[in-house]
Structure 1
Amino acid sequence: MIHTEFAWETADMVADRAVVIRWGDLEPTPWKNGGGLTREIASSPEGSNTSDFDWRVSIADVEAAGPFSSFPGVDRVITLLEGGSMILDSESGRTVLTVREPHSFPGEASVTCELPDGSTRDLNLMTRRGQASGDVSIHTVSSPMRIDGDGSRRLVVALEDGVDARESQRSNWTLDCFDVLDTTGPLSVGPGTFALISVL
């Protein structure tokens, strides 16, 4: 079972939400093409699957070279979290991924990966064109970073143990590596290293 913590604040009849998802509670599931395992962090609409989501965030373990699953009509952002490197080959050329550098590509592209340094772990954002859009950024801060609420859904993914997150003056959490804070409200995060995913 996923342990969650909630906080609400009513503004213009819309409730802010904050949910903490602990990495150890996420269950691995097979890739769409069966070539690996992934852990889904969040998706919309709730209960959607790999064929009908508007957007989806997950962390995948890649242990062998091979093709990526095809997702027509979907924009993808992949961010290498662990492992020396990953090489992507597609019709548009060859891309060498390095740790914590987000890379965007279309989901319908025919992409294969090479793992010159062995297995990797990566963070994935997928948004369906015309239904959602999003971006991924990586931050390392020595003091809390303020993130204002603008109506978008935000997921803060800790990339090390002990990342503090606070929502206003109401709630605060300590996130360990790959724990996630899923929120729509303003917050501050840090010190530490984390990925920030924003989805509209």
Structure 2
Amino acid sequence: MTTTNGSLTTGTILHLADSEKRKWAHGEIREIAAGTLDAEMMLHPSTDAHWDWRLSVASIEQAGEFTPYEGFDRTLTVIAGELLELGIDGTTQAVEAMRPLKFSGNSAVTAALPTGDVLALNVITRSSAVRGNVRIVELSKKREQHLFGAQFGVLIQGKAVVLQEDSERALEVRDTVIGGEDDSPRVSGRGFLAVVSLDLP
């Protein structure tokens, strides 16, 4: 996959620390990337407030109601902390660390923090335009994790490097590398990687 913007080019590493931290109702949030996905599965960055997919990392420090995202789907993964309890349309879901939970943005959602603050990776996709999937993979130095078109790899624990052509670059915890079909980047190391895949509905 080739992208039309340098910030979303195959193999680009997005450093979470470079993203502006801002307040939200339950803590603080940093956006990783947001944009659209066209019919050729090419990623395009958002140029205004309109986006069809968004990746972010947010702290959840206060219990209470989440803001609804009408017409969107959400996948939340606890990446630091022990346990988050979500009440989704009246049903309680225990969200353990590194176990992605997908739910409708139309749902009424409340959060409780039985073991204290958590940090979460959030993937939000417009239901009519993009499907999102998150899986957690354990990294190995013997078996490289390839990242293909419309995929992102977010290092959530451990130490890793990104291999591409003849280059090797360090991937820091909570940084993200962008996948691609041509010379797809590979991630090697020890720890856990969240692989975010975007697709057309």
TM range (shorter): 0.7 to 0.9
User: Could you say which residue in structure 1 is the equivalent of 2:169?
Assistant: 173
- Flag the 1:118–1:78 CA change in 2: closer, same or farther, 3 A: same
Correspondence for 1:68 among 63, 66, 69: 66
After superposing on structure 2, the runs of 4+ consecutive aligned residues of structure 1 that deviate more than 3 Å are: none
User: Could you say which residue in structure 2 is the equivalent of 1:17?
Assistant: 10
Give aligned pairs, total: 183
Deviation at 1:91, TM superposition (A): 1.6
Instruction: Report the more deviating stretch, 40-49 or 57-66.
Output: 40-49
User: Could you say which residue in structure 2 is the equivalent of 1:164?
Assistant: 161
* Deviations, residues 28-66 of structure 1 (Å, cap 9, x unaligned): 1233xx3432110011042456x6310000000111111
Match status 1:196 vs 2:189? no
Q: Which amino acid aligns with 1:138?
A: I
Does the CA contact (< 8 Å) of 2:147 and 2:180 recur in 1? no
Does the CA contact (< 8 Å) of 1:61 and 1:122 recur in 2? yes
User: Could you say which residue in structure 1 is the equivalent of 2:79?
Assistant: 81
TM-score by length of 1: 0.82
- The CA RMSD over aligned residues, in Å, is 2.3
CA distance in 2, matches of 1:90, 1:48: 32
Bigger fraction of residues in strand:
2
Deviation at 1:86, TM superposition (A): 0.3
Structure 2 residue ranges without an equivalent (≥5): 37-44
Q: Could you say what secondary structure the match of 2:119 adopts?
A: strand
- Flag the 1:80–1:48 CA change in 2: closer, same or farther, 3 A: farther
User: Could you say which residue in structure 2 is the equivalent of 1:104?
Assistant: 102
Q: Could you say what secondary structure the match of 2:173 adopts?
A: coil
Structure 1 residue ranges without an equivalent (≥5): 1-7
- Flag the 1:197–1:91 CA change in 2: closer, same or farther, 3 A: same
Deviation at 1:160, TM superposition (A): 2.5
TM-score by length of 2: 0.82
Higher RCO (CA < 8 A, seq sep 6+): 2
Does the CA contact (< 8 Å) of 1:165 and 1:188 recur in 2? yes
Q: Which amino acid aligns with 2:175?
A: D
